[in-house]
Structures are given as C-alpha cells and as structure tokens.
Amino acid sequence: MIIVHHLEKSRSHRVLWLLEELQLDYEVKHYQRDRKTMLAPKSLARVHPLGKSPVIEHDDIVVAETGAIFEYLLALAAPTDLRPPADSAAGRQFSFWLHYAEGSLMPPMLLRLVFSKLPQQPMPFFVRPVARAISAGAMQSFIDPQLHKHLAFVDAELQRQHWLAGEAFSAADVMLSFPLQACRARDLLSGYASISDWLQRCEARPAWQSVEARVGALDLDFS
C-alpha cells in the first residue's frame, strides 16, 4: 500500500491527484501546519529527515521530493499514457515541464511569499518602514518581472497546444498545476487566459475532483 503523508496547504495535493489518475490504491495520513509559523509539524521528520511534504511510503521505501515521487509512481504504474515515450517530441516536452515546475517556476513564487511576509514579522516599529521598502523594491524590480516572464512563457505554450506535452494530458500537467494554482490564488493570472483555461480543464478532470472529495479543496491562504 502507498501511504501519502499529506500536509495541508502544500504540494502534496498533486501527488494525490497523480495517484487518482494512475488509479493506484493509497492511504492518506494528514498533517496540520503550525498556526503561528505555518511550518510543517515536527512529526513529519519521523518519516523523512527533512520533515517536509510531500513524502510517500511504499512497502519499505520512502520517497521525498515531488519530482522523485512522480518518477517513482509513473514507473510503478508503467505502462501509462500519462508519460509519453522518452524518445518522442511529447516525451521531451514532458521531461522539460516535469523539471521546470519546481526548478524554474516555484523559486520566484517562494520568493514572493517570503518578501510579502517580511513586513509582517516582529521588529521594532522604526524598522518596519525599511522592511516594507525592501520588500516592495524586491517585488517590483526582480520578483514580479521574473514571475510574469515565466507566466507569459507558459501561456504562450498553452496557446499553441491543449496540454503541456502536446494534445494529450500527461503527468506534466499535474506537476505544473500547483505553482499556477498558487499564482491564481494571488491574483497573478490576469491577462493569461490560456493558463486560466488550462486550469479549468485540469480541475474538471474526475481524478482532481476525487482528490477534493477525499481531502478537501486545495487551500493556499497563508495569511
């Protein structure tokens, strides 16, 4: 049996989605974030030393990191239509998007989250205006321009094809869902109609709806 250690407000939602798409049996163990720090509970460190989610267990095997989990599950379910042949054009696109999600798109999203929270941290009152200025400057001069560069790139790709790896849905679409759902939650998708349409197609899939029915809707409110 596959056990998914599922943390609220986290990237583990898409691991559950992939499992539903692959029709693999799994069990969910739920974890709540610390209400003050919004960090994962220390109990997750008993599963994997980094104490992060997602992480899965399968028999005596523990797999962490979303990309590694996807690779493991796709191999477990092989053959599957959710992974195009590696030597095909679709397979090369698939590999790119699978790594792009965490390697390129998530870093500016995480920076945006960190800098948006910076002025809210405990500090002397006379330091707060400086913190606000630093945060606003970083967002305006670097983070948001980088983020919108990526969003424009993804949107252009989805203008020319229905799904990320071509005309067939794949696990690459599952992988990229989280950062783009996070962008939507922060009202960053204005002007990116193709991404918005793609997200609607993703969330209309029965497998996604099964995840929501089982563990609830994806909540990305960190306020």
CB 109 within 8 A of CB 182: yes
DSSP letter (8 states) at residue 88:
S
Amino acid (one-letter) located at 176: L
**Is there a single domain that holds both residue 97 and residue 184?**
yes
190 inside domain: yes
Each residue of 85-118: pLDDT tens digit? Answer: 999 999 999 999 999 999 999 999 888 877 676 6
Q: Which of 42, 186, 36, 41 is nearest to 120 (CA)?
A: 36
**Is there a single domain that holds both residue 93 and residue 199?**
yes
User: Looking at the 3D structure of the chain, how many domains does it have?
Assistant: 2
46 inside domain: yes
Dihedral angle, C-alpha 95, 160, 167, 217, nearest 10 °: 80
Residue 31 domain boundaries: 2-82+210-215
Query: What is the structure's pLDDT at 125?
Result: 58
Each residue of 29-63: pLDDT tens digit? Answer: 999 898 777 778 899 999 999 999 999 999 999 99
CA torsion sign for 49, 51, 56, 59 is: positive
Q: How far apart are CA 217 and CA 170, in angstroms?
A: 22
pLDDT at 222 over 70: no
